[in-house]
C-alpha cells in the first residue's frame, strides 16, 4: 500500500462526513414508517406503492460495495437504513450473468417474483431482462438524483431513456502491461497482436464483448452496432493470433496473477483490476488502446415482483455524489454519478485524480459500449467460444 490514504481512512472520513449528508428532507424525516413520496408524475395506469417496504432485498456481485473490514459493516447500506428506516438485506449472489439468469428464468418467465427488489446485471444481460419484460419501470419521481447520471451512460441501446435501469458501476476495458518487461509502452491493439517481442506473453479476456469490442475497433468497425461481416473478419484475425502462438490464453480476472508474476507482459485488462494490481505492482500501466477501448456497465434493475418505490428510493440514495464517492473509493470502478469526483477530491485528491476511477472527458470519448444484442447473440457467442478453445 503506497497510497498515503488507505481505504479504511477514507471510509472513516466518509462516515464522519455522512452525518452532514443532505438528502431530500423526506428521507431524513423518515423514522421507519411508510412515507409519502414527494413530487408528482403523470399518473401511471399501474398503481405503484408509494410506501417504503420494511426491507430492501438487494442482489449484487461480490466485493461490489464498501465494507469496513474490521466490523464487517457496510457504511453505505447502514446510512441508507439510518435515513429511511429500510433494512437492507444485501445478498452477494450474482457471480455470473448467465448463471444468475439460469437460476431465475423459470420464475421470471411465469411472472413470479424472485424475492429481490434490486439486482445488478451487466449491460447485455440487463438488455435481455428488459427485452423479455422481466423488469419493472423505475419510479423516476423517487429518483431526483437521476439527473446526476453522467452523460456518457444516459442512453444505452437497450434502455435509451433509462426507464428500467440505472448504472451501478462501470469499468473500462483496455491494455494492461508491465513496462519493465515489455521494454516500452504498449499502446495499441495491433502491437498486442503483432509485436514479435510479445509472442506468447499476451492474454485476452474470455468475455466476448471486451475482447471483440477491441478487435472490432482494430478494423475501424463500430462495436456499438455490430456488423456480422466485420465480426467474422475480427474473429479470423483473433484466430490467427491464437494459431501463431502470439496469444497465450484467454482469461477471466486471473490474468492479474499472470501479469504480476511476469508470465504475461501485456494483456486485455479491466480498469478496476488494474487499480487493485497497481497497489502492489506500481510499475503496471493501463491504457486505452489507440484504436479505442470499451466501457461496460453493471446496471441496477427492479425484477418482477420487486418493490419499485423502495428500490427507486435506494437508487436515489446512491446517486448522491457523496455516497457515490464513498462506494467508488472502495470498489475502484468508475462511478456513473456526476459530482462524485468532486466529492472524492475532498476526501483524497489522489483518488480523484486516478484516471481509472474518475476518467476525464478525453478518456471517455475513446471508449464505447458494446452492442447489447450482439453480446447476447448465440451465433456470435459460438464463433467466439470456438476461438477461445471451447
Partner 1 sequence: MGFLHRHRGFVPYLLLGPGLGFLALFFVVPTYYLANTSLQEGSAEVGYVFTWAWDNYGDAIATYDEHLIRSLLYAGVATVVALAVSYPLAYWIAFHGGRWKSVLLLIVIAPFFVTYLIRTLAWQSILADDSVVVEVLRAIGVLGDGERLLATSTAVVAGITYNFLPFMALPLYASLEQIDGRLIEAAEDLYASRFQAFLRVTLPLSLPGVFAGTLLTFIPAAGDFVNAELLGTPREAMIGNVIQSKFLVITDYGQAAALSFVLMAAILVLVALYSRTLGTERLTG
Q: Which of 32, 184, 200, 282 binds partner 1 (CB under 8 A)?
A: 200
Which are the contacts of 348, defined by CB distance < 8 A and separation ≥ 6? 5, 10, 329
Which CB atom, from 160 or from 196, has the smaller least distance to partner 1? Answer: 196
Q: Select from 92-100, 157-165, 282-290, 335-343 the region that touches partner 1 (CB under 8 A).
A: 92-100
Residue 235 near residue 387, CB atoms below 8 Å: yes
How far apart are CB 335 and partner 1 at their closest, in Å? Answer: 29
Q: How many residues bind partner 1 (CB under 8 A)?
A: 33
- Count Cβ atoms below 10 Å from residue 184 Cβ, excluding itself: 10
Which CB atom, from 151 or from 382, has the smaller least distance to partner 1? Answer: 382
How far apart are CB 212 and partner 1 at their closest, in Å? Answer: 14
Distances (CA, A) of 158 to 164, 224, 225, 251, 366: 10, 11, 12, 27, 21
Residue 26 near residue 142, CB atoms below 8 Å: no
Which CB atom, from 33 or from 382, has the smaller least distance to partner 1? Answer: 382
Q: Select from 146-154, 187-195, 214-222, 244-252 the region that touches partner 1 (CB under 8 A).
A: 244-252
Does 4 engage in binding with partner 1 (CB under 8 A)?
no
Does 389 engage in binding with partner 1 (CB under 8 A)?
yes
Q: Which of 87, 90, 385, 88 is nearest to 238 (CA)?
A: 385
Maximum CA extent, the chain:
66
Does 128 engage in binding with partner 1 (CB under 8 A)?
yes
Rounded Cα gap, residues 207 and 196, in angstroms: 25
Q: Select from 55-63, 211-219, 333-341, 377-385 the region that touches partner 1 (CB under 8 A).
A: 377-385
How far apart are CB 330 and partner 1 at their closest, in Å? Answer: 26
Does 137 engage in binding with partner 1 (CB under 8 A)?
no
Rounded Cα gap, residues 53 and 30, in angstroms: 12
Does 382 engage in binding with partner 1 (CB under 8 A)?
yes
Enumerate the H helices of the chain as residue ranges: 7-18, 25-28, 75-84, 97-109, 123-131, 179-182, 189-194, 208-218, 228-243, 255-261, 271-280, 308-318, 321-331, 340-347, 349-353, 361-365, 372-375, 378-388
Q: Tell me which residues in 100-119 interact with partner 1 (CB under 8 A).
A: 101-102, 105, 109
Does 71 engage in binding with partner 1 (CB under 8 A)?
no
How far apart are CB 261 and partner 1 at their closest, in Å? Answer: 5
Does 388 engage in binding with partner 1 (CB under 8 A)?
yes
Does 96 engage in binding with partner 1 (CB under 8 A)?
yes
Q: Tell me which residues in 257-296 interact with partner 1 (CB under 8 A).
A: 257-258, 261-263
Amino acid at each position: 500500500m503506497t497510497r498515503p490514504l488507505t481505504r479504511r481512512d477514507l471510509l472513516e472520513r466518509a462516515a464522519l462526513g455522512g452525518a452532514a449528508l443532505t438528502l431530500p428532507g423526506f428521507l431524513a424525516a423518515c423514522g421507519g414508517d411508510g412515507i409519502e413520496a414527494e413530487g408528482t408524475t403523470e399518473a401511471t395506469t399501474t398503481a405503484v406503492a408509494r410506501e417504503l417496504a420494511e426491507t430492501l432485498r438487494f442482489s449484487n456481485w461480490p466485493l461490489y460495495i464498501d465494507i469496513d473490514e474490521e466490523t464487517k459493516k457496510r457504511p453505505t447500506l447502514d446510512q441508507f437504513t439510518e435515513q429511511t428506516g429500510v433494512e437492507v438485506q444485501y445478498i452477494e449472489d450474482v457471480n455470473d450473468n448467465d448463471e444468475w439468469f439460469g437460476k431465475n428464468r423459470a420464475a421470471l418467465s411465469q411472472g413470479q417474483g424472485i424475492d429481490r427488489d434490486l439486482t445488478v446485471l451487466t449491460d447485455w444481460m440487463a438488455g435481455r431482462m428488459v427485452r423479455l419484460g422481466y423488469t419493472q419501470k423505475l419510479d423516476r419521481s423517487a429518483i431526483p438524483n437521476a439527473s446526476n447520471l453522467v452523460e456518457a451512460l444516459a442512453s444505452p441501446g437497450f434502455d435509451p431513456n433509462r426507464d428500467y435501469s440505472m448504472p451501478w458501476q462501470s469499468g473500462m476495458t483496455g491494455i494492461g502491461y508491465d513496462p519493465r518487461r515489455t521494454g516500452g509502452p504498449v499502446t495499441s491493439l495491433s502491437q498486442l497482436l503483432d509485436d514479435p517481442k510479445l509472442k506468447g506473453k499476451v492474454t485476452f479476456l474470455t468475455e466476448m464483448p471486451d475482447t471483440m469490442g477491441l478487435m472490432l475497433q482494430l478494423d475501424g468497425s463500430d462495436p456499438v452496432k455490430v456488423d456480422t461481416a466485420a465480426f467474422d473478419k475480427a474473429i479470423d484475425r483473433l484466430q490467427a493470433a491464437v494459431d501463431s502462438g502470439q496469444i497465450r490464453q484467454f482469461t477471466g480476472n486471473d490474468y492479474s496473477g499472470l501479469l504480476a508474476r511476469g508470465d504475461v507482459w501485456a494483456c486485455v485488462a479491466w480498469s478496476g483490476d488494474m487499480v487493485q494490481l497497481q497497489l502492489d505492482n506500481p510499475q503496471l500501466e493501463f491504457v486505452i488502446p489507440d484504436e479505442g477501448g470499451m466501457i461496460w456497465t453493471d446496471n441496477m434493475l427492479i425484477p418482477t415482483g420487486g418493490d419499485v418505490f423502495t428500490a427507486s428510493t435506494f437508487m436515489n440514495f446512491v446517486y448522491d455524489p457523496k455516497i457515490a464517492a464513498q462506494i467508488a473509493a472502495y470498489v475502484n470502478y468508475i462511478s456513473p454519478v456526476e459530482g462524485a469526483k468532486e466529492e472524492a477530491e475532498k476526501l483524497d485528491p489522489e483518488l480523484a485524480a486516478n484516471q481509472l476511477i474518475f476518467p476525464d472527458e478525453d478518456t471517455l470519448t475513446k471508449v464505447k459500449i458494446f452492442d447489447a444484442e450482439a453480446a447476447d447473440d448465440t451465433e456470435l457467442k459460438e464463433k467466439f467460444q470456438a476461438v477461445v478453445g471451447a
